[in-house]
Amino acid sequence: MAACASSPSSTPPPVGPVGPAAPTEAQVQTRDGVTPPFMRGREVVRVGLLLPFSLRPQEATAIYNAAELALFDHGNQNTLLIPRDAGADEASANAAARALVTDGADIIIGPVLREGVIGAANAARSENIPVIGFSSDRMVGGNGAYLLSFQLEDEISRLVSYAAQHNIRTIALLAPSNDYGRRVESALRAEAQLHGVTIVHSRLYNRTDAEASAAATAVANAIRTQPVQGVLIAESGTALRSIGTALVQAGVDRSQVRFMGTSVWAGDAQREPTLAGGWFVSPDPAARTSFESRYQAAFGAAPTRLASLGYDAVALAALLSRDGGADGFSRARLENSEGFAGSDGLFRFRSNGAIERGLAIIEVRQNDVAILDAAPQQFPRSGT
């Protein structure tokens, strides 16, 4: 189904079958692709949106709303958004992406899941159509597929580097026993080796509040015999708060041991008193606040965490195509080493499809946060 954003709306776009939809009064299939009647005669740039409408409807709607908002903010009247359901697996995403190719998509934005990005990229690659996916798994990027997401490995690198600069050389890890937690552990060990940091204790647990609390108590007991200077807690929500409480109740002295976290702490950590004084890594919070304010004003609701990715992807498409149309989506322009200023701050794509972000270090205060080390406003030049 094709839809051109015409006014901000909190209503999800119409989602049809994965296969090509029949033309309606709102769209006409031309030789170049789907073209609404009012866009006839223009050099239309078609932006395919592959979003999880059936799998995660709330998330998909928020991302689509943000995509509409980007189109209005950047005012490119030749850009047409064509949304399709990405489905739940690689095959369905592949079929949806092939349908977007038939629709004439010049660039495909999404899907969210790693399997979906693989499927979409395989369908688009033969037509030399770039894909900007939202998966955080950097292994699925490259060869025309770019990942506009929050890369866990870069977050761990930023956090460990900052900790080492402040003489935190021994760390304990608490993380869930899932793909996220295992990636945290792997990245932490790699970065620790680079920065002369020792991982003294590491505990992975089943992701329930009770299991998280028990793991924290076990680590606190271990710290009594093998002290550490920091504890990395790769958690969010109630599990994060359970861990903070359990560590303090088990006797961990926050004046001697720094609690630390990834970007998933944002919004949760300041509501837990035991985490006050802790550090976490985050994209530029000032840029995020600006985006959230505009989204709230347009749609009367707060955006989801991933909504800003939809905004930035469409804003980038509008920017790159403004002068050269679809020719603006070349690898050279997408991989601009100076990067782009987005809703979560500075970012740029690497040649392997991974994203590099400018990240800040945030300190938790009682009911608030403060920036300890601001996110950079520009990337270092090559060779510096």
Q: Which residue has the higher pLDDT, 39 or 303?
A: 303
Say which residues have a Cβ less than 8 Å from residue 378's Cβ, sequence separation at least 6.
338, 339, 346
Please determine, for residue 382, whether its predicted confidence score (pLDDT) is greater than 60.
Answer: no
First to last CA, the chain: 47
pLDDT of residue 24: 45
pLDDT of residue 304: 93
* Cα–Cα distance measured from residue 286 to residue 161, given in angstroms and rounded to the nearest whole number: 22
pLDDT of residue 29: 56
Tokens of 158: 């930023």
The pLDDT of 262-285, averaged and rounded, is: 92
Tokens of 148: 């506009």
Q: Which CATH superfamily is domain 28-150+287-357 in?
A: Response regulator (3.40.50.2300)
Q: Which CATH class is domain 152-284+359-373?
A: alpha beta
* Cα–Cα distance measured from residue 48 to residue 54, given in angstroms and rounded to the nearest whole number: 17
64: closest CA among 78, 45, 85, 49? Answer: 49
28-150+287-357 against 152-284+359-373: fold identical: yes
Task: List, as one string, the DSSP characters of 158-218.
Answer: HHHHHHHHTT--EEEEEEESSHHHHHHHHHHHHHHHHHT-EEEEEEEE-SSHHHHHHHHHH
Please determine, for residue 166, whether its predicted confidence score (pLDDT) is greater than 80.
Answer: yes
pLDDT digits (tens, 9 = 90+) for 16-39: 222 233 334 455 555 567 888 888
Q: Report the b/e string of 232-254 with b at 16+ CB within 10 A.
A: bbbbbeebbbbbbbbbbebebeb
pLDDT digits (tens, 9 = 90+) for 353-365: 999 999 999 999 9
pLDDT digits (tens, 9 = 90+) for 201-247: 999 999 999 999 999 999 999 999 999 999 999 999 999 999 999 99
**Residue 155, CB half-sphere, CA atoms under 13 Å: how many?**
25
Please determine, for residue 11, whether its predicted confidence score (pLDDT) is greater than 80.
Answer: no
Chain mean pLDDT for the chain: 89
The answer to which of 12-26, 313-327, 369-383 has the lowest mean pLDDT is 12-26
Please determine, for residue 314, whether its predicted confidence score (pLDDT) is greater than 90.
Answer: yes
pLDDT of residue 127: 93
Q: Which residue has the higher pLDDT, 250 or 5?
A: 250
Residue 12 — pLDDT band, cuts 50, 70, 90?
Answer: very low
241: closest CA among 271, 220, 196, 204? Answer: 271
181 CB neighbour count, 10 Å cutoff:
20
Residue whose entry in the numeric block shows the structure tokens 């929500």 = 237
Residue 308 — pLDDT band, cuts 50, 70, 90?
Answer: very high
pLDDT digits (tens, 9 = 90+) for 45-92: 999 999 999 999 999 999 999 999 999 998 678 899 999 999 999 999
**Torsion-angle region of residue 296: left (phi > 0), alpha (psi -120 to 50) or beta?**
alpha
The gap from C-alpha 196 to its chain's centroid, in whole angstroms, comes to 29
pLDDT of residue 51: 97
Tokens of 139: 């292994």
Does residue 111 have a cis bond before it (omega within 30 degrees)?
A: yes
Q: Using alpha carbons only, give the angle 347, 83, 291 rounded to the nearest 5 degrees.
A: 40
* Cα–Cα distance measured from residue 79 to residue 81, given in angstroms and rounded to the nearest whole number: 7
Length of the chain: 384
pLDDT of residue 297: 96
Residue 42 — pLDDT band, cuts 50, 70, 90?
Answer: confident
The H or E element containing residue 235 is none
pLDDT of residue 63: 97
pLDDT digits (tens, 9 = 90+) for 123-160: 999 899 999 999 989 899 999 999 999 999 999 999 99
Residue spans of the domains in the chain: they are: 28-150+287-357, 152-284+359-373
99: closest CA among 80, 127, 63? Answer: 127
The pLDDT of 112-122, averaged and rounded, is: 96
The pLDDT of 315-333, averaged and rounded, is: 91
Q: In what order do the strands lie in the sheet with 45-51?
A: 79-85, 45-51, 107-109, 131-133, 145-147
Q: In what order do the strands lie in the sheet with 355-357?
A: 340-342, 345-349, 355-357
Residue 14 — pLDDT band, cuts 50, 70, 90?
Answer: very low
* Cα–Cα distance measured from residue 128 to residue 268, given in angstroms and rounded to the nearest whole number: 42
Please determine, for residue 266, whether its predicted confidence score (pLDDT) is greater than 70.
Answer: yes
Beta-sheet pairing, 340-342 with 368-373: unpaired
Q: Are 200 and 226 spatial neighbours (Cβ–Cβ below 8 Å)?
A: yes
